[in-house]
Amino acid sequence: MAILLSKKMIAICHYGGEFETYEDGLMVYGGGEAYAVDLEVNMQLSGFKQEIAETIDSNVDEMLVKYFLPGNKKNLITVSKDKDFHRMVNYYKDSDQLEVFVMKDSLPAKTPKKKPVRRPQKKPAETQVAAILPPAIPGPPNPIPLNAVIDIESGNEITPIPDLVPINPFPVAITNNEQHTAAKQWENLITGVGQRFHSLAEFREALRKYSIAHGFNYMYKKNENQRVTVKCKSENCPWRIHASRLSTTQLVCIKTMRPTHTCQGGSIKPAFRATRSWVGNLIKEKVKDSPKIKPKDIANDLKRDYGIELNYSQARRAKEYAREQLLGSYKDAYSELPVFCEKIMETNPGSLAKFCTNKDLSFHRLFVCFHASISGFIQGCRPLIFLDSTPLNSRYQGMLLTATSADGDDGAFPVAFAVVDEETSDNWHWFLSEFKNLVLGHGPITFVADFQKGLRESLPEIFDGECYHAYCLGYLAEKLNKDLTGHFSHDARRLMVEDLYAAAHAPKLEGFEKYTEDIKAISPEAYNWVIRSEPDHWANAFFGGLRYNHMTSNFGNFFYSWVSEANELPITQMIDELRGKLMQLMYTRRVESSQWLTRLTPSMEEKLKTEILKAHSVQVLRSHGSKFEVRFGESIDIVDIENWDCSCKVWLLTGLPCCHAIGVLENYGRGPYDHCSRFVHVEMYQLAYAESINPIPNLERLMDIELDDGTILVTPPPTTRTPGRLKIRKVLPGRVGPADFLKRQLQCGKCKEWFKNYMQQIFEADKRDKVYDQIVEMATNITNMHIATARPSTFSFHEVSKSSIAALSANIKGSSFAKLKSSCHITSTQLLSQNVESSALRFEKMITKAMSGSSDAKPLPGLPIDLRGKKAFIAGVADDNGYGWAIAKSLAAAGAEILVGTWVPALNIFETSLRRGKFDESRVLPDGSLMEITKVYPLDAVYDTPEDVPEDVKTNKRYAGSSKWTVKEVAESVKEDFGSIDILVHSLANGPEVSKPLLETSRYGYLAAISASSYSYVSLLQHFAPIMNPGGATISLTYIASERIIPGYGGGMSSAKAALESDTQVLAFEAGRKHGIRVNTISAGPLRSRAAKAIGFIDMMIDYSSENAPLQKELSAEEVGNAAAFLASPLASAITGTVLYVDNGLNAMGVGVDSPVFKDLDIPRNNKH
């Protein structure tokens, strides 16, 4: 029995999660991952299972497939045979997809059945010997004709089926020019009937390699414990093979084989057989020899050597598997953490290694500080700590938080570090609390760090005011540059950032005011930004602590290089790798410093000698007491010898006496070395590196240690890779200018456009030349119109005007095609006309874009929707086929930065699909780039605060691994991460009883619809409005059912939409008066989205709209997205409290014109929609 498919169908296979049953018997699946498998004509259950097994890297024999009947979420149906499989497909034949749930079969061991008595074999002695034969050597065992079909058990030759095409043992496509040299060794792994294998697994592996070597795909007709039947996957290709176990033995023998191919097998990508584990084993030695090999290079090598085509994600996962085989399991490494931490503290007494888990025992964070490090910091380093973070590129992601000090030679001295699941305020607070316990009684410490992620609040709270917080100048300048982008030219931004650096380094108030006034001359708004950014935390003229002229937090740059080399290792090996680097660093610097002969460290010795030379030119005048007036050139400074102070502030900032102080000291017979900070002396440097870090023996045998009954079994954290995450560019230590992150742009001398680099200039010029050539060719060949212009200059395209394009389009639409049709043997020119007409339109758009020459410094022409520099938060994006996604795309196309909130149970699938590139096609923007989502937040807008969440939801496995997902917490996270937003979009709706008539709707269902679909908008505004910039805009989505009767749209959803529209008007007044923001809603027509399909009659609504709307066409999500972009833009600055209908005009209709009542009326109808 074959599957009868009228259209393409996809099976969404859920794997790795669990079912949860509610009180009413409803079953909900949560967790795990989802994969898509194509259902093909003639597919059987065994082939379907094999497709799934190769996708999820599982075993067919241990697999159970289950599904729900349509409309029944209370009973799971098990698919155990082909008849069940065909029945399941037929249930969903009217849909384009069906959901199945894959589970492991954990049935108890079965009692062996008695086998029926078999007729004795004719040659039992040969059978007995065959049981101990070694693997068969490739080569034909018997002179059997190549196209014969042999039954090995009967020994009779079966008459082969006559071939309808010329015989060819291999696919036709194998004759191409590609030479897959490595795969040639597999060409004879299968030789024909009679070949034996030790097991079915060995046969399957040989078959896999054989098919790769010969370039064809196959599918299983039978795939059982005793026998396997395989056929070529190409339709009507006769190739097939059957193998089964020999009786009384474990050997497997090929019983029948049709070795002839008639297909173009090589044209099919064989990647479906290349599972993660199989490819991982194949490339294991390559990864061992080249640990830094890139997935792209792996994919290229496999294609060249074996003809296997993998995408980037498949190659990356295969590399991860190979690394796991070489280095150990990433997952097992987390379970080793308790013993690993004990070993650290056992081998390095006085050290601290501490880990924490979440409630579900998944990894949360790990703090490590070796005794040698904390002792060296206390004994020999300056009271200066640099706090920074760097992302980990391991399988389970995470962040590394670091605390680094500066030794006496201005070298980075790592003190402590932590691995955390994500960089949050809570994790930084915990890290600082653990660090505080190690430095009790040390005295005031200056921290150089960012001011976000809760650090501004945590530092004074934890250290009770006994610390100074110096803002990292690199982060500050990066934020200023980002806020200025889109408002000022590159040169203007460069000048303001340079002035910011100069103001920060200025030691005196006069210098600070001078440079800030320079900023004010360019932009008063930028000046106000600088003054509001708390200069007492970053400007030398105001800062109260000692940071020894270190202005940026990423001081330990070499530490980041260590992490980049080790962050792909399992967590215990990564920590041990860092320990080994620290151990080597301590030893090397201890040995080097033992040979120094100077009083100061080498770098400080050089700086002091420079100041001594300058001191020969100073003039010293005594003032009174210990104060002196010192003149150096045109500058006059006051030196206070007793207090080690000079008005130039160099002595205070560096710890070394300046040339003014040295001049005074030499006049009074004092040596400058005695007035240097104690931290720059060699003795203090040697104290910092006096202790040693000890190795941890037998690390590879941690799992062999028996764990106590009370030992926590730590599991890996949930993967939280954030798509398109914004990374702050690091400023290298010792660099004080903005050139490290503010790259210079190039401006064309002719068209005055700005380009990022020279190659972009060349690319744009080449692209415009091609467009020009195409237009001229079209105009000449089709319309006989000659454009009398020379080729445009390299970067100027202004010679081709819009009028030329208009003339071209007019001729295309006019008589040109009539002439073309009459002079050529063409029966239909309609399609050709449409293609050329659309091409002309595309050319017009491209020329308009080329002529505009937009840049950061130039406004766009006309009335553009320009949202550059704006941040938009879209609540309710879980896939790529709804209105929320379309709105995000339109806002991104207009230049906005996109943040999204995704329903918590759907978060994992959404992020996985985004990360694996499944949405790449729908992410394409009009300019050809991909929409970037800066951050994805988990969100359940039904709950306002953590206190509102019921206990059963908190413990629900679908919410496990996610935190801070209530409306209040998400708003706080957005504020913490980005400060403020400009656009808020509400794309949320849910009615658990939407399919019920209102008269049958329960109170629970009605209130749930109101809560999720209407009040959620009120809640979002309550919590997000305070962080929205004045002039911001909020948008929600409603439906015509709020004011018209839509049968079937029940469960209180029509009431929820009516409430939403009423609330829009009230909120427009309240939010407008209080926050200066606009509130509007879009009443969108029907869309065939995944959420709309839950209603059950969305296709009928779309058909009805197409028949009865003034514009007879199907509404696209992009049209709603563009309307939202307009409402969010300054073009709609006076529009608020409005319902904007985007439904092809259906809202204006009073009756349905497709009714038989109007059949006699002459109503225009478009039959092409």
According to DSSP, residue 958 is labeled: G
Position 1023: which residue type? H
**What is the average pLDDT across 34-58?**
77
- Residues 920-946 as b/e (b if ≥16 CB within 10 A, e otherwise) read eeebeeeeeeebebbbbbbbbbbbbee
CB 279 within 8 A of CB 310: yes
Distance CA 84, CA 980 (A): 55
- Report which residue type is found at 631: R
* DSSP bridge partners of 104: 63
Q: Is residue 806 part of a domain?
A: no
Query: How confident is the model at residue 345, as a pLDDT?
Result: 92
In a domain, 740, yes or no: no
311 and 383 inside one domain: no
The residue written with tokens 């514009």 in the block is: 1111
Integer Cα distance of 813 and 472 in angstroms? 62
pLDDT tens, 144-195?
333 333 333 333 333 333 333 333 454 544 444 445 677 788 888 898 888 9
- Of 1014, 1054, 1055, 1129, which residue is the catalytic one? 1014
Once rounded to an integer, what is the mean pLDDT over residues 5-24? 76
Domain boundary among 680, 699, 721: 680
Whole-number pLDDT of residue 601? 92
Q: Are residues 388 and 515 in the same domain?
A: no
Average pLDDT across the chain, whole number: 77
- In-domain check, residue 570: yes
Residues of the domain holding 516: 473-537
Question: Which ranges of 1076-1162 does DSSP label H, i.e. alpha helix?
Answer: 1098-1108, 1117-1128
Whether 295 shows a pLDDT value over 90: the answer reads no
Instruction: Provide the 8-state DSSP code for 130.
Output: H
Among the listed residues 394, 1057, 1089, 1129, the single catalytic one is 1057
Write phi, then psi, for 399 (nearest 5 degrees).
-130, 150
Calculate the alpha carbon distances from 1108 to 1097, 1104, 1148 in Å.
Answer: 17, 6, 10
Give the model's confidence band at 134: pLDDT under 50 very low, under 70 low, under 90 confident, else very high: very low
Number of structural domains in the chain: 6
How far is 768 from 86, CA to CA, in rounded Å?
55
**If you write DSSP's letter for every residue of 827-854 in order, what string do you get?**
S--HHHHHHHHHHHHHHHHHHHHHHH--
Lowest pLDDT segment from 8-12, 889-893, 946-950: 8-12
% residues pLDDT > 70 (the chain): 76
Sequence-separated (6 or more) residues with CB below 8 Å from residue 1076: 1030, 1031, 1032
Catalytic residue flag (residue 520): no
Which has more confidence, 841 or 286?
286
Average pLDDT over residues 565-575: 80
pLDDT digits 0-9 by tens, 1108-1135:
788 878 888 889 999 999 999 999 999 9
CATH code, domain carrying 50:
3.10.20.90
pLDDT band, very low/low/confident/very high, at 634 (cuts 50, 70, 90): confident
Range of lowest pLDDT (363-372, 688-697, 830-839, 1004-1013): 830-839
pLDDT digits (tens, 9 = 90+) for 427-466: 999 999 999 988 877 788 999 988 777 888 888 888 887 8
**Is there a domain that residue 321 lies in?**
yes
What is the mean pLDDT of the segment spanning 642-671? 86
- Return the higher-pLDDT residue of 946 and 451: 946
Q: Are strands 196-197 and 149-150 parallel, antiparallel or unpaired?
A: unpaired
The pair phi, psi for residue 209, each rounded to 5°, is -65, -35
| pLDDT single digits (tens) 49-86 | 887 877 776 777 778 889 888 878 878 888 888 888 88
Is the pLDDT reported for residue 776 higher than 90?
Answer: no
Check whether residue 409 and residue 531 sit in a common domain. Answer: no
Supply the pLDDT for residue 1111: 87
Q: Is residue 561, in this structure, part of any structural domain at all?
A: yes
pLDDT of res. 394 = 72
* pLDDT tops 50 at residue 1064: yes
Judge if 455 and 505 occupy the same domain: no
Q: State the pLDDT at residue 793.
A: 37
Mean pLDDT, residues 36-49 taken together: 79
Of the ranges 87-96, 612-621, 855-864, 1036-1045, which one carries the lowest mean pLDDT score?
A: 855-864
Q: Are residues 1108 and 1036 in the same domain?
A: yes
Greater confidence, 1019 or 167? 1019
Q: Which of 797-801, 869-873, 1157-1161 has the lowest mean pLDDT?
A: 797-801
Please tell me which residue, 481 or 170, carries the higher pLDDT value. 481
In this prediction, residue 1148 carries a pLDDT of 84
Q: Please answer whether residues 243 and 207 qualify as being in contact, where contact means their C-beta atoms are separated by less than 8 angstroms.
A: no
To which H or E segment does residue 562 belong?
helix 557-566
- What is the percent of the chain where pLDDT is above 90? 21
From CA 795, how far away is CA 851, in angstroms rounded?
10
508 within domain boundaries: yes
Residue 68's Cβ-side half-sphere holds a number of Cα atoms within 13 Å equal to 17
Residues 46 and 56 placed together within one structural domain of the fold:
yes
Report the CATH number at residue 571: 3.30.420.10
How big is the CA angle at 144 (ends 143 and 148), to the nearest 5 degrees?
165
Whether residues 399 and 527 share a domain: the answer is no
Q: Is 496 exposed, middle or buried (0-12, 13-18, 19+ CB in 10 A)?
A: buried
Which of the residue ranges 89-103, 316-330, 708-722, 894-908 would you say has the lowest mean pLDDT?
708-722
User: Among 87, 104, 121, which residue terminates a domain?
Assistant: 104
Residue 161 falls inside a structural domain: no
Which pLDDT value is given to residue 726?
Answer: 38
CB proximity list for 878: less than 8 A, separation 6 or greater: 884, 902, 903, 906, 909, 910
* Cα separation, 468 vs 946, whole angstroms: 33
CA dist 258 and 918 (Å) reads: 38
Alpha-carbon span 554 to 735, nearest angstrom:
11
Amino acid at 470: A
Q: Are residues 646 and 590 in the same domain?
A: no
Beta-strand relationship, 635-640 and 227-232? unpaired
Q: 1068 pLDDT exceeds 50?
A: yes
As a whole number, mean pLDDT of residues 754-776 equals 52
| Cα–Cα distance, 530 to 519 (Å, whole number) | 9
Rounded mean pLDDT of 787-814?
A: 39
**In this structure, are 1114 and 1153 located in the same domain?**
yes
Please tell me whether residues 1004 and 1068 are part of one structural domain. yes
Contacting residues for 1040 by C-beta, under 8 A, at least 6 apart? 1046, 1083, 1085, 1141, 1143, 1146, 1147
Q: How confident is the model over 1145-1162, as a mean pLDDT?
A: 76
Q: What CATH number is given to the structural domain containing 1065? A: 3.40.50.720
566 with 616, same domain?
no
Catalytic-residue membership of 871: no
Q: Which residue has the higher pLDDT, 744 or 278?
A: 278
Residue 738 in any domain: the answer is: no
Cα dist from 290 to 319, 323, 465, 1054, whole Å: 11, 11, 50, 61
In this structure, the answer to whether residues 616 and 580 fall within a common structural domain is no
374 versus 832: the higher-pLDDT residue is 374
Q: How confident is the model over 213-259, as pLDDT tens digits?
A: 888 888 888 888 888 999 988 888 888 999 998 888 889 999 899 88
From the list 461, 474, 670, the residue with the least C-alpha distance to 553 is 474
Size of the chain, expressed as the number of residues it contains: 1169
pLDDT at 655: 87
Average pLDDT over residues 1080-1104: 74
